[in-house]
Chain A
């Protein structure tokens, strides 16, 4: 079945540091890939997505590229801010199985 393996957390970085959160997946067919974010006290919200191989999703300075050859969708940001502190979830959805399958989440804390 479909599964998502996400980088273990928590992750603590200084402001303006470079961020990478690793995500790999297993799926039949060609899934759509997502990063969702949960800020403190708020609900899950979509950060970015990519629906086919080599697509790059981007939003709020975050980027992730759909890599079919390595079954990966790593999240990156060049310079993190304190306001980026949140829990980040990698997820996928496949045709014929249109639910979101989530990773375990990575808690990111940015210190000034």
Chain B
């Protein structure tokens, strides 16, 4: 079974430029998560989707971040414009039904460096 796929793996951009990250969850998984992981910290949720609906986006900085999950499968996370403080690892995860006890499966992450 294929795992969660993310691309790109690494991205270096100048500040104020836009950037987009793509995630393909495990087939059949209805719930998709985007997490932000700063160096030396645990991941923190940015947004959670149930199928194509964003059910928790309370931690997403909506002035510069946006996300979509068209057709309830792949998802894209965008930052425009990027700031120096956005340098971090962006993780995508998926789970079968989004229940509290469900295992979340993580992708390898996209490491973003903003110069």
Contact = CB atoms under 8 A, between A and B. Distances in A.
B109 A100 contact: no
Given A98-B98, A99-B56, A104-B40, A44 B45 contact: no
A44 B109 CA distance: 9
A99 B41 contact: no
A93 B42 contact: no
B72 interface: no
Contacts of B109: 43
B101 A93 contact: yes
A42 to B, nearest CB: 8
Interface residues of B, number: 27
Interface residues of A, number: 26
B44 interface: yes
Given A43-B109, A45-B106, A93-B101, A99 B45 contact: yes
A44 B41 CA distance: 13
B42 A98 contact: no
Contacts, number: 64
Contact of A98 (B40, B41, B48, B91): B48
Given A102-B42, A105-B41, 11 more contacts: A43-B109, A45-B106, A49-B101, A89-B43, A95-B100, A98-B102, A99-B48, A100-B33, A100-B43, A103-B42, A104-B40
Interface of B: 3-4, 31, 33, 35, 40-45, 48, 56, 91, 93, 98-109
Interface of A: 4, 6, 31-32, 34, 36, 42-46, 49, 51, 89, 91, 93-95, 97-100, 102-105
22 contacts: A6-B42, A43-B4, A43-B106, A43-B107, A45-B105, A45-B106, A46-B103, A46-B105, A51-B101, A91-B42, A93-B100, A94-B100, A95-B100, A97-B100, A98-B48, A98-B56, A98-B102, A99-B45, A99-B56, A100-B93, A102-B43, A102-B44
